[in-house]
């Protein structure tokens, strides 16, 4: 029953789960309850990759069918559990959440996977409450800013057959905070932010479209629970290239080509305000907004991080 995320869920397209790049490959957990070499942990309608160092998921990917949604109350479908396949020692459990301001923040949202017949939806609701699918989210962030992209998924109505691929995960940085309850309690790493992608086939054009979002769990977001009333989701959009650099994950090529915010591909996404060194051909083509497929491929994989940040400083986004 736990078939997990499937790559052929969107009509006419195959979209693979993200895979770790060399920088994070060594941090991917080999779950002791899975066969050797199988690192993707499947659940009902979603799958995830676990980090050894943080004991939290690096990515959770879900198939969502909004046309077959069932209403499952939290009382019936919210039973948090330790996944024995992953091992208790490899996941953050209730000790870190009980009596603290930190919520068990769903990566794949519970109500996103409650679709299909009622029994399947109920089982999926419970399956979403694995501790492996939770990350340390401050209660003010979890109940405020993070609700904005979650509600966008729930209310989405532009997809062919109402089908969506939703991927999400934490962002860990050199500036991460750690939470501890005191002596004898292993410190828990707090994600600096969270990302989410929505990929779908447009019901009118038949084209594949991807939107990527990044929210930081910083001091400003923790001050209030009223931000969701005024923030606009489009202001948190980023390129798939940026997302890849933030996460250390490699995304399906089609998620680059279908994300209209492509700093490397054309005038519809960027406006150049100032040019610096154009001696490098890739940087020159990027800055000019003129890039062929080969150059786009090169930019995704070869551009250095400091050059990317310099380039982003020169761009003004719509």
Tell me the catalytic residues: 106
**Model pTM score:** 0.81
Q: Is residue 293 located within the same domain as residue 202?
A: no
pLDDT (0 to 100) of residue 62: 98
Residues in the chain: 318
243: buried, middle or exposed (CB in 10 Å: 19+, 13-18, 0-12)?
buried
Known binding-site residues for Mg(2+) equal 142
Residue 300's pLDDT band (cuts 50, 70, 90):
low
Known binding-site residues equal 142
pLDDT (0 to 100) of residue 263: 47
Calpha distance 23→219 (Å, rounded): 28
Q: Is residue 81 located within the same domain as residue 202?
A: yes
Please give the tally of structural domains in the chain.
2
- Inside any domain, residue 103: yes
Range of the domain at 299: 263-318
Residue 173 to residues 105, 248, 289: CA-CA distances in angstroms? Answer: 18, 11, 30
pLDDT (0 to 100) of residue 281: 53
Q: Is residue 133 located within the same domain as residue 93?
A: yes
Q: Is residue 281 located within the same domain as residue 241?
A: no
Q: Is residue 194 located within the same domain as residue 176?
A: yes
Q: What is the pLDDT of residues 29-54, one digit of tens each?
A: 999 999 999 999 999 999 999 999 99
Domain of 55, CATH number, reads 3.40.570.10
Percent of the chain at pLDDT > 90 equals 58
Q: Is residue 189 located within the same domain as residue 294?
A: no
Q: Is residue 167 located within the same domain as residue 242?
A: yes
């Amino acid at each position: 029953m736990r078939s997990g995320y499937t790559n052929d869920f969107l009509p006419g397209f195959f979209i693979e789960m993200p895979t770790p790049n060399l920088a994070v490959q060594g941090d991917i957990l080999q779950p002791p309850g899975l066969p050797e070499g199988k690192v993707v942990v499947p659940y009902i309608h979603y799958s995830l990759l676990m980090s050894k160092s943080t004991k939290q998921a690096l990515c959770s990917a879900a198939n969502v069918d909004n046309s077959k949604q069932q209403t499952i109350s939290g009382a019936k479908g919210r039973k948090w559990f330790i996944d024995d396949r992953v091992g208790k020692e490899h996941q953050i459990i209730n000790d870190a959440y009980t009596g603290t301001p930190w919520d068990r923040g769903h990566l794949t949202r519970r109500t996103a996977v409650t679709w299909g017949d009622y029994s399947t939806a109920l089982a999926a609701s419970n399956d979403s409450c694995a501790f492996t699918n939770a990350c340390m989210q401050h209660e003010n962030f979890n109940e405020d800013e993070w609700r904005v992209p979650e509600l966008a998924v729930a209310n989405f109505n532009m997809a062919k057959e109402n089908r969506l691929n939703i991927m999400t995960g934490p962002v860990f940085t050199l500036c991460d905070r750690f939470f501890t309850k005191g002596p004898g309690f292993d410190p828990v790493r707090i994600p600096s932010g969270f990302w989410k992608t929505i990929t779908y086939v447009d019901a009118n054009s038949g084209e594949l479209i991807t939107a990527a979002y990044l929210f930081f769990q910083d001091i400003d977001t923790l001050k209030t629970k009223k931000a969701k009333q005024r923030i606009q989701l489009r202001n948190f959009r980023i390129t798939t290239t940026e997302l890849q650099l933030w996460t250390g994950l490699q995304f399906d090529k089609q998620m680059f080509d279908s994300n209209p915010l492509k700093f490397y591909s054309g005038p519809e996404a960027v406006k150049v305000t100032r040019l610096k060194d154009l001696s490098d051909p890739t940087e020159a083509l990027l800055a000019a907004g003129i890039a062929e497929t080969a150059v786009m491929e090169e930019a995704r994989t070869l551009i250095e991080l400091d050059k990317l940040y310099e380039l982003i400083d020169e761009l003004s986004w719509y």
